[in-house]
Structure 1
Amino acid sequence: MSNPRIHFTISFTEPQTHYVEIEMDISDFTGTTLDFGMPVWTPGSYLIREYERHVELVEAFATADRIHCMKISKNTWRVQSPSNHIKIRYRVYGFEISVRTNMINVDRAFLSPAATFMYIKNHIDLPCTLAIILPEKWHHISTGLPKTATHEHIFYAENFDTLYDSPIEIGNQDIWHFEAAGVPHEFAMVGGGNYDKQQLTSDITKIVEEETAIWGENPNTNYVFITHNYQTGGGGLEHLNSTVLGASRNAYQVPNAYKNFLCLVAHEYFHLWNVKRLRPKELGPFNYDEENYTTGLWIMEGFTSYYDNLIIRRCGFFSVQEYLDMLVNDFNQVYNRPGYRVQSAALASFDAWIKHYRPDENSANTSISYYNKGAMLAVALDLYILAETQGTKRLDDVLRAAYHSFYKKENRGFEEKEFQALAETVTGVDLSAIFKAAHSTEELDYNMYFNRVGYELIDLNRDRQELSLGIKIANQDGRIVIKNVERGSAAWDAGLNVDDELIAINGNRLDIAGKELELILQNGQIDEIIDVLISRDGLIRTIHTPLRRSTRQQWSIREKPDATPTEKNIGEIWLSVSY
């Protein structure tokens, strides 16, 4: 088959029903059989989402005549025609609030391209154009795709990888423009909110310029922030020259919430370089029909999770203590999940497709987040490099060199051992212990790194004697129900289960607030055996379980009292402010 030309027409005849109509016009088609399909996932969100489930009424035409169109797999259709001009028409339902899925209503439409546009199988590299027909009361289109010269509502994608990485917001969003790091930026606010445009522009400009300084260049000619404001919202997804953010519309004037939003901006913008350009070899070119496995998400997402808060500190939005409190959250998140003894950061990366986006009642016992654990490993790398080079090198230098080597010079993804080797060459530091730890459940002694820069990591609960059964409970329709049982806890060993209803302890009926349970834990003795009356699937039984010391950890990062002047100096370099 020669290279056909592809043009999409997007229209909304009934947006109130949450549908978008797509016409895929294929010209210069010289084959007799054409297979076309819908991606089953979207880059940056590592889960098979089965976008094809929202596709309906697929029809095919050769010139003006309808031709047979047959579905041959869950996300693939086939047409056979001698014509060199074929049109495919279909509808897509979209009514899900997230940064990864379509949302269409009477006021607006957000289109996640992977959930919207089909492609010709084995021809992901073909360019295409998109014409968007606006409903009468809609006036704006926000996307990172460039406009064609022929019409302001017609856009161009050089290939389908670019198309699938360019979300589209259509409606009456509040739009303003600014320049940062020499690049034009657009901000598109959806859903209203109490944001201050001038403040946002000033603060985000600092973030953009700080991150550009780390990487040595800004690779964009334009960039678009699309922010969806809801009563309660959050999350984000990175794209090639844009991002989609979720926020709470009335939280911009709440200091902590506003700083958290800036952290989200810093995180997604950092991905411009880290994952969108500098990436493991498995993350591009993509196979949109199945999982694309990598063990490297601890670098892509973990390093980005380390830098998002650090950027906010460097911009002067966080005090030192505020930053340290944000950083230590990663340690608390990991160490209060027994799964850290079961799953390494690399395995968490590989298993993202089946675990990270599909948590259940036992997830805390079996898994960790590559975001949190990756950030812990990143801070270890940064501090160790700083200490070993007396503050002359740091993780910034590694990332900048990797970007220019693997992306700019060789235009390819990296193997993890290549990344490690480059890091060690750039810094002159043996980093093997930290990279090895990413593939192991054996924990690093993180104080070996914090102490070198004048800080220490302390478990505030280390000497406390609180008792615990190792369960989490919830009030469910007037009943106290177990929602989680911690691995290795008293409840785990005794056989208490998720969904057991707690009725009484030692003959005392439990009230809905669980105060009797709290009283027993406060006044009991370690290894004391208590009788727990439960209802399991409607059957009453008594479980005999011991009381044990709580394993919950509460970590804090503090200045080391006996830090040397050299250690303090390196610590100041680590936490320095650029503005």
Structure 2
Amino acid sequence: MSSSSIHFSLSFKEPQAHYVEIEMDIDHFEEKFIDLKMPVWTPGSYLVREFARHIEGFEASADGLPVHFEKLAKNTWRVENPHERLKIRYRVYGFEISVRTNFIDADHAFISPAGTFLYPDGHLEHPSTIQINLPEKWKQVSTGLPKSATGELHYSADNFDILFDSPIEIGNQDIWHFDAANVAHEFAMVGGGSYNKQQLSADIQKIVEEETRIWGENPNTNYVFITHNYQSGGGGLEHINSTVLGASRNAYKIDAAYKNFLSLVAHEYFHLWNVKRLRPKALGPFDYDQENYTEGLWIMEGFTAYYDNLIIRRCGFFSAKEYLNALANEFNLVYNRAGHRVQSAAQASFDTWIKQYRPDENSINSSISYYNKGAILAVALDIHIIAGTEGTKRLDDVLRAAYNLFYKKEQRGFEEHEFQQLAEQVTGLDLAEIFEAAHHTEELDYNRFFAAVGYELIDLNKDSHDLSLGIRYQEQEGRIFVKNVERGSAAWDAGLNVNDELIAINGSRLDVAGKEMEFMLEQAKEDDIIDILIARDGRIRTIHSPLRRNNKQLWSIQPKSDASSTVKALGKIWLSISE
């Protein structure tokens, strides 16, 4: 097999129609036949997306003559091997705006490799080369893949895991470079925007250097930021030496939006260590044919969701108050979702394949996000470690030790109990309560942890007497429809359904602006029974529903006035307050 080779060539004959043409040359493979597969999912985005559905015009040939093939499964083509250069041709359609899927139009192409490149079954470790043929008006290529010596727009991947983890942006993106933590960084902006290159470079340099300090080293020599700017956009996906970000093109000059973008950068860059290298056992080597289950995403994504805003605070972009408000919002997102009483953080991690990326009208009642829940478990760990070690250790030290042990020394993924054992060894503390909480729906007494560093969680809505039905509704073409019914709410118990059309309340027709609903809630009293006239599947009926106090919480994290000077000093360590 030493003389075998795999080479891909990408062309764009009809980019305006959203197609990329791929040629795959396979040379000197010994098998009688080769099973070519396309992944059904892409690392970092835990959903079976069935990328093979976008393949068209599959052909196989050798020396210009057709080679027999048959399709064995949804993502598998079996091709007879002529034991010489085998050429595979196919087209891929790409027109889905996201950080994880192909998007091709007349202006540019974003290539998500897992949805583009086939691989020979049993040969994920095989290297490959990639040649990109630019349309006449396109001039730039941005990717974390190293350039190959065979040509200017030729790239190489040591194996298919690296290829599938290296997105490619092709077009006329705005490219600039900067160094941070002794690593060369490229920024590729697509779609224009109000960004300031110098400010972005300087601010992101601070983020990179702070994260490198946390982990003890930066494992890359180069890193690429690919940012797609839209009228309204967001999201990100981490890769081994690059990331793809979504942003709103005109939001860079808005202070809050700009800080949110920096937080997104901090989040995806943190994954360079946390998940791309330090990882649960299930997340590598990957099985690209099916789901790869783990209960550990509350650590990988949740801890990262905790650190993103904390790093923005450490770099000085957030004031302490701004950071505490951002952290309090994680509690709002968990506690104001009835699903937190139904699904644990570990369950949410395991079921990400069927729940996280497939929300429906009942998701708020049946599930939580391992991002938000993991973040509040992470803050409990961090401040517990700070308080328990009198400020000599914190969660940073645990992550750095885990990276050095599992990734660098033992070169393997970890089991959760191993991670917990190491954390307890590093800190000298019993952390079982917090790790166990990830597997249960009962909430920790977070104020017990916050008090140890001089802060407390306060529900600003605790004494509110506002009333609520417990529904979310939406106007559609001049009509009002129920979109969510919260578990345990008045509407839930009364039998109001999603997709019910709301017509009138207590004999007064509802207006699309919601004024009648607001007036009714302001004038009514708790436990009043109201008559709601609805249309359900075209049939008119009346629902009799009680009114109850609005159970929505509004959390704030505030300093404790009675905290001792010693405890306050620990809080300053936590929040990087120097004064």
Which TM-score band applies after superposition, normalised by the shorter structure? over 0.9
Aligned to 1:339: 339
Aligned to 2:218: 218
Within 2, Cα distance between the matches of 1:384 and 1:339?
Answer: 26
1:152 deviation in Å?
2.1
Within 1, Cα distance between the matches of 2:3 and 2:417?
Answer: 38
Cα offsets for 1:463-521 (capped at 9, x unmatched): 11111111111111211211110000011011010111111222222222222221221
Aligned to 2:114: 114
Aligned to 1:467: 467
Aligned to 1:137: 137
Q: Does 1:515 align with 2:515?
A: yes
Change (3 A) 1:427 1:284: same
Aligned to 2:356: 356
Matches within 5 A, 1:278-317: 278-317=278-317
Q: Does 1:450 align with 2:443?
A: no
1:528 deviation in Å?
1.4
Within 1, Cα distance between the matches of 2:577 and 2:214?
Answer: 13
Within 2, Cα distance between the matches of 1:152 and 1:283?
Answer: 34
Q: Does 1:318 align with 2:318?
A: yes
Matches within 5 A, 1:24-423: 24-423=24-423
Within 1, Cα distance between the matches of 2:354 and 2:3?
Answer: 36
Matches within 5 A, 1:404-553: 404-553=404-553
Aligned to 1:571: 571
Paired residue secondary structure (1:16): helix
Is this contact kept in 1: 2:27–2:83, CA < 8 A?
A: no
Is this contact kept in 1: 2:572–2:578, CA < 8 A?
A: no
**Structure 1, unpaired ranges of 5+:** none
- For 1:551, the aligned partner's letter is N
- For 1:206, the aligned partner's letter is K
Is this contact kept in 2: 1:315–1:577, CA < 8 A?
A: no
- For 2:328, the aligned partner's letter is V
1:2 deviation in Å?
7.6
Within 1, Cα distance between the matches of 2:2 and 2:383?
Answer: 54
Cα offsets for 1:416-465 (capped at 9, x unmatched): 00000000000001000000000000100000111110110001111111
Is this contact kept in 1: 2:130–2:156, CA < 8 A?
A: yes
1:84 deviation in Å?
2.4
Within 1, Cα distance between the matches of 2:7 and 2:154?
Answer: 10
Q: Does 1:5 align with 2:5?
A: yes
Is this contact kept in 2: 1:58–1:88, CA < 8 A?
A: yes
Within 2, Cα distance between the matches of 1:128 and 1:81?
Answer: 18
Within 1, Cα distance between the matches of 2:232 and 2:256?
Answer: 15
Paired residue secondary structure (1:453): coil
Cα offsets for 1:286-318 (capped at 9, x unmatched): 011111111000000000000000000000000
Is this contact kept in 1: 2:178–2:184, CA < 8 A?
A: yes
Is this contact kept in 2: 1:240–1:272, CA < 8 A?
A: yes
Within 2, Cα distance between the matches of 1:28 and 1:449?
Answer: 62
1:83 deviation in Å?
2.9
Paired residue secondary structure (1:82): coil
1:577 deviation in Å?
5.8
Paired residue secondary structure (1:41): coil
Is this contact kept in 1: 2:474–2:481, CA < 8 A?
A: yes
Paired residue secondary structure (1:417): helix
- For 2:307, the aligned partner's letter is Y
Paired residue secondary structure (2:316): coil
1:578 deviation in Å?
8.9
Given the two structures, how large is their TM-score scaled by the length of structure 2? 0.99
Deviates more, 1:189-198 or 1:371-380: 189-198
- For 1:527, the aligned partner's letter is D
Q: What is the aligned residue count?
A: 579
Within 1, Cα distance between the matches of 2:515 and 2:258?
Answer: 36
Paired residue secondary structure (2:412): coil
Within 2, Cα distance between the matches of 1:249 and 1:123?
Answer: 41
1:3 deviation in Å?
7.2
Paired residue secondary structure (1:61): strand
- For 2:280, the aligned partner's letter is P
Deviates more, 1:510-519 or 1:323-332: 510-519
Change (3 A) 1:47 1:3: farther
Aligned to 1:18: 18
Paired residue secondary structure (1:91): strand
Change (3 A) 1:22 1:198: same
- For 2:67, the aligned partner's letter is I
Within 2, Cα distance between the matches of 1:273 and 1:528?
Answer: 55
Paired residue secondary structure (2:261): helix
- For 1:209, the aligned partner's letter is E
**Structure 2, unpaired ranges of 5+:** none
Within 1, Cα distance between the matches of 2:249 and 2:531?
Answer: 48
Cα offsets for 1:131-183 (capped at 9, x unmatched): 11111111111100000123221111000000000000111111111110011
Within 2, Cα distance between the matches of 1:343 and 1:173?
Answer: 42
Paired residue secondary structure (2:131): strand
- For 2:233, the aligned partner's letter is G
Within 1, Cα distance between the matches of 2:258 and 2:487?
Answer: 36
Cα offsets for 1:166-201 (capped at 9, x unmatched): 000111111111110011111111111111111011
Within 1, Cα distance between the matches of 2:186 and 2:66?
Answer: 42
Is this contact kept in 2: 1:204–1:262, CA < 8 A?
A: yes
Is this contact kept in 2: 1:316–1:578, CA < 8 A?
A: no
Is this contact kept in 2: 1:314–1:578, CA < 8 A?
A: no
Within 1, Cα distance between the matches of 2:12 and 2:406?
Answer: 42
Change (3 A) 1:35 1:577: farther
- For 2:488, the aligned partner's letter is G
Is this contact kept in 2: 1:157–1:163, CA < 8 A?
A: yes
Kindly report the root-mean-square deviation, in angstroms, between the aligned alpha carbons of the 2 structures: 1.2
Within 2, Cα distance between the matches of 1:3 and 1:513?
Answer: 70
